[in-house]
Amino acid sequence: MFGKFRDSSVAPVMDRVRALLEARGVRVLLGSTTSAEIDGERIDEQHHPLDQLIDVAMVVGGDGTMLNAARILCTHGVPMVGVNLGRLGFLTDIPQGDLETNLDALLDGRFSVENRTLLKTTVLKDDVSIYEGVSLNDAVIAKGNTGRLIEFETRIDGRFVSHTRSDGIIIATPTGSTAYSLSSGGPIVYPTLSVLSIAPICPHTLSNRPIIISDDAVVDICAFRTPETRAILSLDGLIVHQLSGEETLRLTRADRKLSMIRIDPHDHFEVLRTKLGWG
């Protein structure tokens, strides 16, 4: 189990989940995001590769906790399932109020697995990689600590698309289409489609609209002009690099995918209706 990052307030829920699992003969280990104040066996104490220790990663928290855990798990091929303690909870599938029914369904094999696209972001300077990172939701280039716009060019598979003046740009996976991209006017994308979305943030040219491209494409963001301060690159909401203007950002589909468990019956459109308040 991976608890909300260093938050001991989730202990009662984690203790309840652990008791239900152990009653069914399941060994429970605590992941690295879990507060040190919560007692239990720790994955870090086992001295074995994570994918040899656990069959399923159960994440207790909100979508932010899922994103934290995804950064840890994406290289190991371990499927994830979430217990929702947050607000919207697009990624966390199990409601806190119905733990026993959903855990029984999980242990009885009544679930499906969705393989979610991961986004690889490479920062290049003089054609040399100076940073690489993987995200589940999105990569965001934003203006940082300034009230002025930034300027950049977007190229797809080497072809010029646009010169943009805006607060930034969001490149999102289908999973990330219901996150920051949605609030910037981006489309909601069915989570298993093989596409990426590109959405400008507050573009000065109102006709500059979000677009959908194949996730086989190579997206380059370059020719930055950033007044007063450096633009920033964030992956899944975590700032990872400051941009001087001399870099090219290359965004591609990662080689691996993240497996997410969905408890039966799972209906993505019902989730959208419930979370977004559709009629």
What's the DSSP call for residue 188?
P
Query: What is the DSSP code string of 131-165?
Result: EEEEESSEEEEE--S-SS-EEEEEEETTEEEEEEE
What's the DSSP call for residue 186?
P
Q: Return the half-sphere exposure (C-beta side, CA atoms, 13 A cut-off) of residue 244.
A: 6
Helices 99-107 + 11-23 axis angle, to 10: 40
φ, ψ of residue 151 in degrees (nearest 5): -125, 145
Residue 63: active-site member: yes
**Is 30 within 8 Å of 3 (Cβ atoms)?**
yes
Query: What is the DSSP code string of 37-62?
Result: TS-S-BGGGS-S-HHHH-S-EEEEE-
For 25-41, give one letter per residue: b (16+ CB within 10 A) or e. Answer: eeebbbbebbbeebeee
**Is 222 within 8 Å of 162 (Cβ atoms)?**
no
242 beta partners: 232
Task: Please tell me which residue in 15, 44, 63, 215 is annotated as part of the active site.
Answer: 63
Residues near 48 by beta carbon (within 8 Å), at least 6 away in sequence: none
Rounded to whole angstroms, the Cα distance separating 34 from 236 reads 19
- Residues marked active site are found at 63
